[in-house]
Structure 1
Amino acid sequence: MAKRRQSKILLDRGSELLEERIRFCDGRCRSNPIRNFSVDQICRAIQDFQKIHPLQSCIEFEWKKGVLDGRLVFIKRYARGGQEVYRDIVVSSQMSSHNNVLKLLGCCLEIPEGPALVYEYPENRSLDRHIHYGSLPWGTRLKIAKEIANAVAYLHTAFPRPIIHRDIKPANIFLNQNYAAKLSDFSFSISIPEGESKVGDDLLVGTFGFLDPDYTMTNFVTEKTDVFSFGVLLLVLLTGRATRQGEIHLIEHVKLLVEQDRVHEAVDPMIRGNGGEAIDQQQLEASIELALRCTDDSGEDRPLMIEVAKEIQRIERSITAAP
């Protein structure tokens, strides 16, 4: 009876996944092959880690550590099925060939509570843990920003219909053993129709503090929606601060310091260069200036993501070239 129920769940969810793939990609997906894991494989994978608390969790899902085929994996257990879950699978499979996206290895659709997605294991966990509980050196922070900018620019330009992430934030970025950044969670992503520059969506999604004000006021999603969120991410990376501390809003706080010629005060004094040296003032100013351009109130005045990626590469090269 249980196997019959699992088979029905697999069939129903498989059909829903296929429908989402066709709808979202308009029949032109470039998905990478992913494996279909059974319930037993997922249960065995996490069995040895039952006593470990979930590595990260929210209302919709939790992350668990496991072992499959002798390999450490990261398992995302959803609390329910639905379009957002299937969208996460569809876009993750399209993006898995990119070096700065958390690679989707496979999924299990037949778990009654909700599907499980299996990813490569990021040894250094999520970026938000390092920002709030550790001290990444300045060069590593810029490298992470460059890598995520590259991933988002690819998302915007590599497909016939640009894909907008809509939830770029430190909790959705993971780091491998070499601190290479891996973007994840495409459940809120949406595609813009070919020939159009925006798409409407009555359902406002994202994370407070990272939401584009144009999007919140108009319900229209554009490439600049992600640019704004990335700009906030860049400010969080560079300053080591949360988007809001009490009554202090990060963007306004940094703007005020720039206007008062006190930009050096924006950065957490614990953040140093990779060799322990003080941060170069020109690099700091260029990075802050780029972040503020990305978070301009007007979407039209923000740069495109591909322009942002090129500018961060230029700033990073100035560190490498410094004597």
Structure 2
Amino acid sequence: MPSKFLFSLLPCVRMVETESSFLKNGSILLEDLIASCEGKSSPIRTYSADELVKATNNFDPSFIISEDLSFKLFRGLLDDRSIIIKKYLHWPSEAEARSMAIRDIIISMQMSTHKNALKLSGCCLEFSLPALVHEDAAKGALDCHGGLGDTRSLPWKTRLLIATKVAHALAYLHTTFPRPVIHRDLKPTCIFLDDNYSPKLSNFSLSITIPPKQFHVEDVVKGTYRYTDPTYIATVYITEKTDVYSFGVLLLVFLMGQKIRVVDKSAVVEDLTSYVDANILRELRADEQAQQQLQAFLALALLCTQDGRESRPCMTDVAKELVRIEKSILHC
């Protein structure tokens, strides 16, 4: 009898926990929204925990499309449309994970108006940690080699198109809002592709804003090591050039079609065979103009990854240079 009574109380306990999580997460989200968006933000839908549980068959592992130390991404079906649900894990701590999730929600809301950001449909505040609900991107996320898997190496023009549009999204992040926002964890797996291979930048969980009238902000080193600005590592100062360095590494990944373990500072732009994916070289063959375009792309990547921040261009100039390179390719 006591066990039956206890079992009958479980739904009530879950309801109390759900309401408690909603109030706790909601109050923190509202406070951060007011601070970050100056009281202005686009409305998003709030989903119930039951809706997301149903959409993913209770977060069945077979629905996972990607995962990281701090979250798992599930592809589910809700209201007869495909969605991506980002469910945060209690890492490195519950408080830190909650802060990351809320930051992700806020910046995703702000970026949802940009065509090259993964659009946020809404969030769920009823779990112990907030969950994000994004519109689906049919092709999924890039892998760590900048492609879509071993059998789906992307053609050169597609890689260049992705790089150009991501550069515009980052420039937007840096310049559009009252305070510059630094992504801080840019890497291929943050980039999703839609049916037309158009990129959608995501994962703003480590993003940080630069205070008014300041050129940098201090914080402990976070991010993905191979993409992290060495000056940030040495000084804990974060600037817009922190993202520029990460973007330069991303360009090298697109060019080489593999992980970048160490950025080769002695690279010679004329020596393309040492730095360019064999698939690209076969695709472009011995076209002299194409060789010049690849050299310009490599030169830009190396400029972005200069050790000295003052030597790196801003993201707006990077985007302009990529447009120039892209246009020259389109006229080949």
Give the counterpart of 2:254 among 231, 237, 251: 237
Q: Which residue of 2 aligns with 1:263?
A: 272
Partner AA of 1:100 in structure 2: N
| Per-residue deviation, 1:318 | 0.3
Measured at CA, do residues 59 and 49 of structure 1 come closer, stay the same or move farther in structure 2, by a change above 3 Å? closer
**Distance of 2:221 and 2:284 partners within structure 1:** 43
Q: C-alpha offsets along residues 238-263 of structure 1, whole Å, 9 cap, x if unaligned?
A: 1112111xxxx2x21xx44417x422
| Per-residue deviation, 1:48 | 8.8
Give the counterpart of 2:208 among 190, 203, 225: 190
Which stretch shows the higher mean deviation, 190-199 or 288-297?
190-199
Matches within 5 A, 1:1-323: 1=12, 2-25=14-37, 27-29=38-40, 31-47=41-57, 50=60, 52-80=62-90, 81-112=97-128, 114-128=129-143, 130=147, 133=150, 134-201=152-219, 203-244=220-261, 249=262, 251-252=263-264, 255-258=265-268, 261-271=270-280, 276-278=283-285, 280-322=290-332
| Per-residue deviation, 1:131 | 5.8
**Distance of 1:286 and 1:28 partners within structure 2:** 43
Partner AA of 1:233 in structure 2: L
**Distance of 1:91 and 1:39 partners within structure 2:** 22
Is this contact kept in 1: 2:164–2:319, CA < 8 A?
yes
Is this contact kept in 2: 1:21–1:87, CA < 8 A?
no
| Partner-residue secondary structure (3-state), 2:127 | coil
> What root-mean-square deviation, in Å, do the aligned CA atoms of Structure 1 and Structure 2 show?
1.8
**Distance of 1:204 and 1:20 partners within structure 2:** 22
Q: C-alpha offsets along residues 63-109 of structure 1, whole Å, 9 cap, x if unaligned?
A: 00111111100110112452111000000001001010000001111
Partner AA of 1:106 in structure 2: G
Gaps of 5+ in 1: none
**Distance of 1:56 and 1:121 partners within structure 2:** 13
Q: C-alpha offsets along residues 118-156 of structure 1, whole Å, 9 cap, x if unaligned?
A: 001111111116265231000000000001000000000
| Per-residue deviation, 1:319 | 0.8
Q: Which residue of 1 aligns with 2:9?
A: none
**Distance of 1:121 and 1:76 partners within structure 2:** 11
Partner AA of 2:99 in structure 1: Q
| Per-residue deviation, 1:206 | 0.8
| Partner-residue secondary structure (3-state), 1:82 | helix
Query: Aligned pairs, how many?
Result: 308
| Per-residue deviation, 1:230 | 0.3
The percent identity for this pair of structures is 46
Partner AA of 2:274 in structure 1: E
**Distance of 1:262 and 1:96 partners within structure 2:** 40
Question: Which structure has the larger Rg over C-alpha atoms?
Answer: 2
Gaps of 5+ in 2: 1-11, 91-96
| Per-residue deviation, 1:115 | 2.0
Q: C-alpha offsets along residues 250-300 of structure 1, whole Å, 9 cap, x if unaligned?
A: x21xx44417x4223311111258xx4436101000000001000000001
Q: C-alpha offsets along residues 194-248 of structure 1, whole Å, 9 cap, x if unaligned?
A: 22111111x211101100011111111100000000000011011112111xxxx
**Distance of 2:212 and 2:55 partners within structure 1:** 41
